[in-house]
Amino acid sequence: MSHVVATIDEQLVNAVLAEAGEIGGVARYRGEEDAVVYGIDERELPSGFTIHYPSREVTRVAVWSVDLRWSVRNLRAEIEESAVRFRAELRAEARDFSYTNPIEGIFGVRLDDGVVHLRLRPVPVTLHIEPLGQRLEMETFDLAEKLPEPIRHMRFELPIASGGEVSLPGGEALAVAPRRFRLSIETDHIAVRATLDARRA
């Protein structure tokens, strides 16, 4: 009985992640609203003086607002023993405020019909601002949902899955077919081991 091994290493997975393109947007935050007098009226008194006073037109306006520009960069995978981790960096900037935070997640890994599937599990990301030093959370979203489908669900077809033929003397051939697969996650790579059966074609 023979065995063959196929590997998917970090370099290959990261080459796919590098194709994610630009991920980002703008989050708008409005502070509490307050009633504000809108406009000034004037009236001349019989004495000849003119007085100015607030008009009766009142509106509600935001006391302050912030546009927070954010982006996710440096997407990468780190393959450890028994786990494929997702890492990236969140960069957020407003007028006089910015921060960079690490993002972490994990890939679910499974083997199905000779195809290795890496699916990114939910990665919650929270945007925040800090007016006057006080942290205010703006919104939380799942980063995985913002990635293109081929990035959040990578598929690697294994060349060993289809088997093949080996030529024999006399023009005959030996058909080689994988019978059993076993997937393992090891340091720096994912390994798939197949047991091969051989028979005359």
**Position 11 in a domain:** yes
What integer pLDDT is reported at residue 158 of this predicted model? 83
> Which of the four pLDDT bands, split at 50, 70 and 90, describes residue 55?
low
- Dihedral sign for Cα atoms in the order 137, 138, 142, 144: negative
Run of H or E including 146: helix 143-146
What integer pLDDT is reported at residue 71 of this predicted model? 96
Place of tokens 């959040």: 152
Q: What Å distances lie between residue 60 and 27, 32, 65, 98, CA to CA?
A: 22, 10, 14, 29
What integer pLDDT is reported at residue 199 of this predicted model? 73
Tokens, residue 198: 């051989």
pLDDT tens digit sequence for 128-172: 988 777 788 888 999 999 999 999 999 998 877 666 777 777 777
Burial class (CB in 10 A: 0-12, 13-18, 19+), 163: middle
Q: Which of 67-71, 80-84, 179-183 has the lowest mean pLDDT?
A: 179-183
> Which of the four pLDDT bands, split at 50, 70 and 90, describes residue 194?
confident
**Contact of 146 with 23, CB cutoff 8 Å:** yes
CA distance 21 to 151: 10
Higher-pLDDT residue of 104, 158: 104
Please state the domain count of the chain.
Answer: 1
**Position 54 in a domain:** no
CA distance 80 to 111: 18
CA distance 16 to 28: 32
Place of tokens 């076993």: 182
Residue 62, pLDDT > 60, answer no
CA distance 88 to 189: 19
Read off φ and ψ for residue 145, nearest 5 degrees. -70, -20
What integer pLDDT is reported at residue 152 of this predicted model? 95
Place of tokens 């995985």: 144
Give the residue numbers spanning the domain of 158: 2-28+64-200
- Dihedral sign for Cα atoms in the order 125, 130, 134, 138: negative
What integer pLDDT is reported at residue 164 of this predicted model? 72
Please compute Rg for the chain using Cα positions.
31
**Position 80 in a domain:** yes
Average pLDDT, the chain: 84
**Position 52 in a domain:** no
**Position 48 in a domain:** no
**Contact of 161 with 176, CB cutoff 8 Å:** no
What integer pLDDT is reported at residue 22 of this predicted model? 85
What integer pLDDT is reported at residue 197 of this predicted model? 78
